[in-house]
Chain A
């Protein structure tokens, strides 16, 4: 009997919920909520722009065995994920089915536009997809994710929900502390892409300009001159380049601006050394912008 139980136990570890996410930020969230009771793997790496991934067949292999697919939505993954879902031959992962989760649904989205044309660049008309950079939103998404995990794995329902609530609380504390650190500091920044907009909104930062003239369009000389002119007038402290973009433009802008600092920032978990969780990521960004050395 004892051996039989052990035998069953060995199966229960095999029967862990298998989750695939499109980004490392979502992977980190699944880890916060599921802890050691789920196996999770992200398709993109922290150093990759999830918008420009390719439909690699090894992703299909991962998705073919998954119980749940967690994706951002809003068109962020539309260039490759549909082929992964088709190629995985795993019908449960299709949008609307029990093994699929849109992290963006019910998020209070910004930058939604009614009319779009491709002449505006890579616009996501349903809203800016970088909401996972706001700790408060991440906390809310975590609670919804816990409900989804609980639906698939009823036994651990309460475990997931309690973890999610604890994470949400942790994010709330982090936000308050971050706000304190940033109080009275120069809150004007410049970024490459509209990646930080949710983060900015939460912490009251002001993004003066973007190095790319339109989303997804590489910087032109005339646009960079405009950015430099604006920066000279308004004196932002930090030029922040998401570290999967080309660093050369940032360096060029810096030559013209004396009082500013250039940083290549991670915008995803495992996008840089020491960034192993969402908490690490938000803290790193806050420390850079507030010019503090340690989180205290």
Chain B
């Protein structure tokens, strides 16, 4: 009898703990996938700048999950040092439709389709810093706005996509209209073809229009952006690959500026990459910029989640020369969503 009581007690405890476990598992199952990217940076420049020395370049916290059978939500918060103080900002926070055929709608804050590079998160940049056109035309972190986006896959034999975006426009100098009823609009056409078994070529065009109040709240002016980009990729195995990507961007506010950057990246072994980038601002007369930059980068990626990169840049900024040396540790933990092609 004693044994029976004891046995039933043990069984009771066991079923209880099983139930508790089931309950716990269920709770965790519905948590979003969480990933954290940490970027540690050492920077040394000849022309002294404030962000020199050792620092946290950025930390990104990304959350992704299906909401229900119709939507998913993707949120990415960036922690960065701005003028000596750490701030947390939503870099992207949007919902996306998952149950509509042929078209994907996005609502929220997202990186806009101005070229290819602007859509990358900092940890996925091919070089440690952003290209000149992004930093000087679009703003330090690129163009991320709140609005709605629709992308349609055109039924062709190659990859052809139209992206239309309408956003509130809250960018410091591009779309800062004082009239909140003035929005900014973007159209982008992407075409990609397979060149061979292992290589692809992509051509894209972007146009964007909006209003700015740079000349005063009562004096709204037009803002226009126009861009074109081309990317060739070759990847015959996981030990070798090559990328050549070029982007042209032109902006018209009260003045007109045009710039370009082009980079090549060669993977020479499973974990080693070399790259070279050229950037130029002030392709037109009357531009606010006259800047040229050459950058070389070497990357050791210990796995798909971690890389150590060193970069050397030679800058000519309107006659002022600068040499920059950067070292970056780029680490990802947790769930890591797949990267765009």
A residues at B contact (CB < 8 Å):
45, 48-49, 52, 54-58, 60-61, 64, 78-83, 86-91, 94, 118, 122, 216-218, 244, 246
State whether A61 touches B197 (Cβ < 8 A): no
A54 touches B192 (CB 8 A): no
Contacts of A246 in B (CB 8 A): 239, 270
Interface contact B303-A54, CB-CB below 8 Å: no
B104 near A54 with CB under 8 A, answer no
Chain A residues within an 8 Å CB radius of B18: none
**Count of chain B residues with a beta carbon within 8 Å of a chain A beta carbon:** 36
A80 close to B338 (CB less than 8 A): yes
Contact yes or no, B98 A79, CB < 8 A: no
Selecting from B40-48, B118-126, B151-159, B249-257, the interface stretch reads B151-159
CB neighbours of B190 from chain A (8 A): 57
- Interface contact tally, CB-CB below 8 A: 74
A118 CB contacts on chain B under 8 angstroms: 303, 305, 333
- Contact between A90 and B101, CB atoms less than 8 A apart: yes
B-side interface residues toward A, CB under 8 Å?
96, 98-104, 153, 155-159, 161, 190, 192, 194, 197, 200, 202, 235, 237-239, 270-271, 303-305, 333, 337-341
User: Do B270 and A58 have beta carbons less than 8 Å apart?
Assistant: no
Docked Cα-Cα span, A140 to B176, in Å, equals 62
A45 to chain B: closest residue by CB: B197
Chain A min CB distance to B299 (Å): 15
CB neighbours of A55 from chain B (8 A): 338-341
Q: Which residue of chain A has its CB nearest to the CB of B302?
A: A217
CB distance B153 to A56 under 8 Å?
no
B98→A94 contact, CB < 8 A: yes
CB of A89 within 8 A of CB of B102, answer yes
Set of chain A residues within 8 Å of B239, measured between Cβ atoms: 246
Closest to B270 in A: A218
The reply to whether B238 and A56 form a contact with Cβ atoms under 8 Å apart is no
A89 in contact with B338 (CB, 8 Å): no
Q: Which of B96, B159, B303, B338 has the most CB of A within 10 A?
A: B338
Contact assessment for A89 and B159 in the assembled complex, using a CB-CB cutoff below 8 Å: no
Least CB distance, B156 to chain A, in whole angstroms? 8
In angstroms, Cα B131 to Cα A142, docked, is 51
A216 CA to B271 CA, complexed, in Å: 11
In the bound complex, CA of A15 to CA of B104 (Å): 26
Minimal beta-carbon separation of A87 from chain B (angstroms): 8
A49-B238, A58-B158, A60-B159 as given contacts; A91 in contact with B99, CB under 8 Å: yes
* Residue of B153, B202, B237, B305 touching A64 (CB-CB under 8 A): B153
